[in-house]
Amino acid sequence: MSNDGLTWQDPEKLARHVGMTLRHIRHERGLNLQDLAAMTDVSTLTLGKIERGEANPSLTIIWKIANGLAIPISALLVEKQEVQISRRNEGSKVISANESLTLEPMFTSSGYSSLETHRAFLKPDSEYRADAHQPGVIEFVTVMEGKVRVKVQDDVFELGQYDSIKFHADKSHSYMNMESIEAVLHFVMIYTGRAD
């Protein structure tokens, strides 16, 4: 398993969880692997390995799958429980391909929900570029520590500690940490299912 994927206290358990969840969603929707590959732009080979718990998918792959299925990424990553506590460094983590951003899914409402929260850690002097999410996703981001430059399409916004931004995430966007210390971000994603 590469460093470009999910990590957890037990990476194999997480890989099995993601695989079982993905297979359940695929079967629930009556899709075969070829259908899912066409929807997500992820190869059938990779999807098969993920479903069998043999692959450690990168953040980009997880986003492609979630976007193709029109679900939050936490629907694939977070185990369902009545009462949840999310502690830093416990639970699943997704690392960007360039290893600049570590995303820790925190909470999701039940099922393939319309709301999810994440904490994220952006390395010093680095940038994370996010692909456009599915239509109808609204992203709320608060800088908990550090300073971050957020770019949405061609517009750039400077955020300091406790500053927040809200935007439609179905546009290309990126996060830049221009500081020499790690930036800590809190994300809330709302999946409205609408393109307006």
What's the topology of domain 6-77? 434 Repressor (Amino-terminal Domain) (1.10.260)
What is the assigned CATH class of domain 93-191? mainly beta
For residue 116 the two structure tokens come to: 């999810």
Tell me, what's the pLDDT at 1? 28
Query: Can you say whether the dihedral through the CA atoms of 168, 173, 175, 178 is positive or negative?
Result: negative
Give the span between the Cα atoms of 161 and 158, in whole angstroms. 10
Tell me, what's the pLDDT at 82? 55
Tell me, what's the pLDDT at 15? 77
Tell me, what's the pLDDT at 78? 67
Tens of pLDDT along the chain (196 residues)?
A: 233 344 445 667 777 888 888 999 999 999 999 999 999 999 999 999 999 988 877 778 888 898 899 887 777 876 665 556 667 776 678 888 889 999 888 865 544 557 888 999 999 999 999 988 888 889 999 999 999 999 999 999 999 999 999 999 999 999 999 999 999 999 998 887 655 4
> Domain spans of the chain?
6-77, 93-191
- Count the alpha carbons within 13 Å of 15 in the hemisphere toward its beta carbon: 20
Q: Smallest Cα–Cα separation from 98: which of 187, 177, 8, 163?
A: 177
Tell me, what's the pLDDT at 196? 46
Q: Smallest Cα–Cα separation from 14: which of 115, 85, 108, 105?
A: 105
Tell me, what's the pLDDT at 5? 42
Tell me, what's the pLDDT at 4? 38
